[in-house]
C-alpha cells in the first residue's frame, strides 16, 4: 500500500531531526548521528548531503582522532551562513543580536530603555540595529527570521503585548510595529521573556536533558517559563506562566495587578528592597547591594533575604506540587537571591512540597546568563526551519 505524500514527509522529518540535533549539540560525527537518531549509515549520509546542498550544515574530517581507521566525518551547523535576528525588550534596555544556527551569538548590540519609553520608541532602535547588521551580513548568508522576547504577556498569534507592567505597557501592538519597521518578508515571532529563557536553558543550558523544567525570572516582577513533558506550557492565548500573580498571602500587600498577596509582592524587588531598608531604590544594582550587605553581616539585609527566601520556597513548593519538575532555575535577580538564601528556600520547599513531587527536583542557577533571552528569541525563529529544513 502506498500512502500519498508520506515518503517525502518522512524524509523532511528526518532532515529536521538531524538538523535539530546538530543545532542543539553542535558538531557531531556521522557515527554518533547514526547511533543517536536510530537511522542507518547510508540514510545519515544521504540526509547530510541534502542539508549540505541546502547550505545548512558542513562536513569535514575531524582534526584529530584517537581511533585507528578512517575517522567518521563531522557534521556541523553553518553558524556563519544561517542565522536569525534575536531581539529583546527588557525593563531597562533593548538588545539585538544576530544568532547563528547552533545558537552562536555572532554580533550583538544594546541601548538603554529609559522609563516611559513607548512601544514605537522601543522598536525604533531595534530596527536600526537590525538594519546595521543587515549591511554587514557576509555574502551568501541567509536569514531565517526574527524572534523577539518581551518582558510581558504576549498574544501568541500576532505578538500583541497585552500587559507588561514592569515596562509600563498595556495593549501595545509591538509585533505589528516591529514588522512595519523591519520591512521585508522575514518572519517575526514574539514571545515572553521568561518563556524564551526557559527554551534556551532547556536546549543548551542548566536544563539540558530535562523534560520538566520551571525557569523563574525575577526583576521588578516575577514570571516563569515552564516546560512540561518536553514542551513549553504557554496556554490558550500564550499567557501562561504568570506565577508572580499566584496568590500566596491573601491577607498580604496589594499588588499592582489589582489583586492582593501575589507571590511577587513577597519575593519581588520591591519587597526585598523595602524590607532591607532601601525602599527608595530600584533595579538590579540595588538588589545586588542587599545581597552584598547580607554577606557582609548587615542584619536588616539578612532579615530581608530570609523573608524573601522563605516565600520563594513556599511558591516553589506550590509549583513543584503542580508540575513535579526535575529542575527549577532561578534567573534574573532571583539568581542572586537564591545564591545567598538557598538554605531558606530549600527548607520551605521541603515543608510545602509533597515528598514524591520534590524528591528529584534540583535547584539551579542559569548557565547562559543574559544571553538566554537572545538565544531563546533566536530559537523562536529557528523553530520553523528545524521543523522542515527545506522550507523556503
Q: How far is CA 203 from the centre of its chain?
A: 9
- Give yes or no for residue 43 binding a copy of itself (CB under 8 A): yes
Q: How far is the CB of 133 from a copy of itself (least distance, A)?
A: 32
- Give yes or no for residue 54 binding a copy of itself (CB under 8 A): no
CA-wise closest residue to 44 among 57, 31, 27: 31
Q: How far is the CB of 44 from a copy of itself (least distance, A)?
A: 10
Among 31, 357, 370, 390, interactor with a copy of itself by CB under 8 A: 357
| 129 phi and psi angles, rounded to 5 deg | -60, -40
Q: Which is nearer to a copy of itself, 186 or 326 (CB)?
A: 326
* Edge-first strand listing for the sheet containing 74-77: 28-29, 74-77, 57-60
- Give yes or no for residue 61 binding a copy of itself (CB under 8 A): no
Let me know: does 311 contact 263? Beta carbons within 8 Å.
yes
Among 77, 317, 366, 389, interactor with a copy of itself by CB under 8 A: 317
* Edge-first strand listing for the sheet containing 213-218: 231-232, 222-228, 213-218, 327-332, 362-364
- Give yes or no for residue 65 binding a copy of itself (CB under 8 A): no
Q: Which stretch binds a copy of itself (CB under 8 A): 27-35, 200-208, 271-279, 318-326?
A: 318-326
> In the numeric block, which cell numbers belong to residue 20?
535539530
Let me know: does 48 contact 17? Beta carbons within 8 Å.
no
Among 180, 184, 259, 339, interactor with a copy of itself by CB under 8 A: 259
Q: Which stretch binds a copy of itself (CB under 8 A): 103-111, 185-193, 238-246, 338-346?
A: 238-246
CA-wise closest residue to 266 among 162, 195, 337: 337
- Give yes or no for residue 14 binding a copy of itself (CB under 8 A): yes
- Give yes or no for residue 250 binding a copy of itself (CB under 8 A): yes
Residue with cell 528592597: 273
Among 27, 31, 39, 390, interactor with a copy of itself by CB under 8 A: 39
- Give yes or no for residue 240 binding a copy of itself (CB under 8 A): yes
Site for a copy of itself in 205-224 (CB under 8 A): 211-212, 224
Measured distance CA(62)–CA(379) in Å, rounded: 28
- Give yes or no for residue 1 binding a copy of itself (CB under 8 A): yes
Residues 6+ positions from 2 with CB-CB distance below 8 Å? none
Q: How far is the CB of 232 from a copy of itself (least distance, A)?
A: 8
- Give yes or no for residue 4 binding a copy of itself (CB under 8 A): yes
- Give yes or no for residue 108 binding a copy of itself (CB under 8 A): no
CA-wise closest residue to 22 among 366, 385, 391, 380: 385
Q: Which stretch binds a copy of itself (CB under 8 A): 115-123, 155-163, 333-341, 370-378?
A: 155-163
- Give yes or no for residue 10 binding a copy of itself (CB under 8 A): yes
DSSP secondary structure string for all residues of 222-277: EEEEEEETTEE---SSS----GGG-BS-TTS-B-TTS-BSBHHHHHSHHHHHHHTT
Q: Which is nearer to a copy of itself, 61 or 354 (CB)?
A: 354
| 186 phi and psi angles, rounded to 5 deg | -65, 145
The CA angle 78-367-213, to the nearest 5 degrees, is: 100
**Residues at the contact surface with a copy of itself, assessed by CB under 8 A:** 1-4, 6-7, 9-11, 14, 39-40, 43, 46-47, 50, 153, 155, 162-163, 211-212, 224, 226, 228-229, 231-243, 245-251, 257-259, 314, 317-319, 321-326, 351-352, 354-357, 359-361
Amino acid at each position: 500500500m502506498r500512502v500519498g505524500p508520506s515518503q517525502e514527509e518522512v524524509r523532511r522529518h528526518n532532515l529536521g531531526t538531524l538538523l535539530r540535533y546538530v543545532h542543539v549539540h553542535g558538531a557531531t560525527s556521522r557515527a554518533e548521528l547514526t547511533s543517536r537518531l536510530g537511522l542507518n549509515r547510508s540514510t545519515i549520509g544521504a540526509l547530510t548531503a541534502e542539508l549540505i546542498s541546502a547550505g545548512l550544515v558542513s562536513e569535514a574530517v575531524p582534526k584529530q582522532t584517537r581511533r585507528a581507521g578512517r575517522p567518521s566525518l563531522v557534521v556541523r551547523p553553518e553558524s556563519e551562513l544561517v542565522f536569525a535576528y534575536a531581539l529583546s525588550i527588557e525593563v531597562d534596555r533593548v538588545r539585538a543580536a544576530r544568532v547563528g544556527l547552533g545558537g552562536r551569538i555572532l554580533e550583538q548590540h544594546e541601548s538603554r530603555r529609559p522609563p516611559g519609553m513607548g512601544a514605537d520608541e522601543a522598536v525604533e532602535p531595534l530596527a536600526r540595529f537590525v538594519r546595521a547588521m543587515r549591511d554587514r551580513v557576509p555574502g551568501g548568508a541567509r536569514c531565517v527570521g526574527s524572534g523577539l522576547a518581551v518582558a510581558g504577556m504576549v498574544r501568541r498569534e500576532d505578538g500583541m503585548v497585552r500587559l507588561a507592567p514592569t515596562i509600563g505597557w498595556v495593549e501595545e501592538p509591538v509585533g505589528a510595529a516591529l514588522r512595519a519597521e523591519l520591512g521585508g518578508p522575514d518572519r517575526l515571532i514574539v514571545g515572553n521573556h521568561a518563556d524564551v529563557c526557559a527554551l534556551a536553558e532547556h536546549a543548551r543550558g542548566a536544563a539540558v536533558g530535562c523534560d520538566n523544567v520551571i525557569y523563574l525570572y525575577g526583576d521588578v516582577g516575577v514570571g516563569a517559563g515552564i516546560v512540561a513533558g518536553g514542551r513549553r506550557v504557554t496556554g490558550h492565548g500564550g499567557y501562561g506562566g504568570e506565577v508572580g500573580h499566584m496568590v500566596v498571602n491573601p491577607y498580604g500587600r496589594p499588588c499592582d495587578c489589582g489583586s492582593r498577596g501575589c507571590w511577587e509582592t513577597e519575593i519581588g524587588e520591591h519587597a526585598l528592597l523595602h524590607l532591607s531598608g532601601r525602599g527608595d531604590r530600584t533595579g538590579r544594582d540595588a538588589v545586588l547591594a542587599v545581597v552584598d550587605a547580607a554577606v557582609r553581616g548587615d542584619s536588616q539585609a539578612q532579615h530581608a533575604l530570609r523573608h524573601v527566601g522563605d516565600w520563594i520556597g513556599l511558591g516553589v513548593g506550590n509549583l513543584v506540587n503542580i508540575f513535579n519538575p526535575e529542575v527549577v532555575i532561578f534567573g534574573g535577580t532571583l539568581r542572586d537571591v537564591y545564591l545567598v538564601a538557598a538554605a531558606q528556600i530549600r527548607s520551605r520547599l521541603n515543608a510545602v512540597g509533597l515528598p514524591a513531587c520534590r524528591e528529584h527536583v534540583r535547584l539551579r542557577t542559569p548557565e547562559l546568563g543574559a544571553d538566554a533571552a537572545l538565544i531563546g528569541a533566536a530559537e523562536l525563529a529557528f523553530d520553523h526551519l528545524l521543523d522542515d529544513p527545506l522550507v523556503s
